Amino acid sequence: MNAAWQPVRARLSERRWHFQQGPIDLVIGAEGERAACEAAHEACWAHFASVLITLVSELPALRRALPSAGRPPEVSGPVAQRMVAACLPHAQQGLFITAMAAVAGSVADHLIRCYRRPGVQRAYINNGGDIALHLEPGESWRAGVVGNVNAPALDAGLVVPAESGLRGIATSGWRGRSLSLGIADSVTVVARDAATADAAATIIANHVDVADAAIERRPASEVRDQSDLGDLPVTVAVGALAPASIDNALANGLACARELVSRGLIGHALLNLAGRWAQTGDGFAPIDQRPSPGRSTLMRAA
Per-residue model confidence as pLDDT tens digits over 202-261: 999 999 999 999 999 999 999 988 889 989 999 999 999 999 999 999 999 999 999 999
Total domain count, the chain: 2
Asked if residue 162 and residue 131 are part of one domain, the reply reads no
Residue 36 shares a structural domain with residue 86? yes
Same domain, 5 and 120: yes
pLDDT computed for residue 272 by the predictor: 93
Q: Are residues 29 and 43 in the same domain?
A: yes
CA–CA distance, 253 with 270 (Å, rounded to integer) = 10
For 138-160, the pLDDT digits (tens) are 999 998 888 777 777 788 888 99
Cα gap 178→194, rounded to integer Å: 16
My answer on whether 26 and 166 are in the same domain is no
Same domain, 197 and 300: yes
Shared domain check, 215 and 98? no
Do 159 and 190 fall within a single domain? yes
Q: Give me the phi and psi of 241, to 5 degrees please.
A: -90, 145
* Residue 270: φ, ψ to 5°: -125, 125
Q: Quote the CA–CA distance of 37 and 173 in Å, as a whole number.
A: 33
DSSP letters for 87-101 = HHHHHTTT---BGGG
My answer on whether 153 and 72 are in the same domain is no
Evaluate whether 284 touches 156 at the Cβ level (below 8 Å): yes
Task: Quote the pLDDT of residue 284.
Answer: 78
Question: Of 101, 136, 171, which marks where a domain is finished?
Answer: 136
| End position of a domain, from candidates 136, 169, 196 | 136
pTM of the model: 0.91
Same domain, 268 and 121: no
Range of the structural domain that residue 209 is part of = 138-302
pLDDT at 297 over 90: no
pLDDT of residue 42 exceeding 60: yes
pLDDT tens figures, 71-115: 999 999 999 999 999 999 999 999 999 999 999 999 999 999 999
274 and 131 co-located in one domain: no
DSSP string of 124-184, one letter each residue: EEEETTEEEEEE-TT-EEEEEE-S-TTS----EEEEEEGGG---EEEEE-TTSSS--SS--
Residues 151 and 161 in one domain: yes
- Looking at 85, 118, 136, which one is the last position of a domain? 136
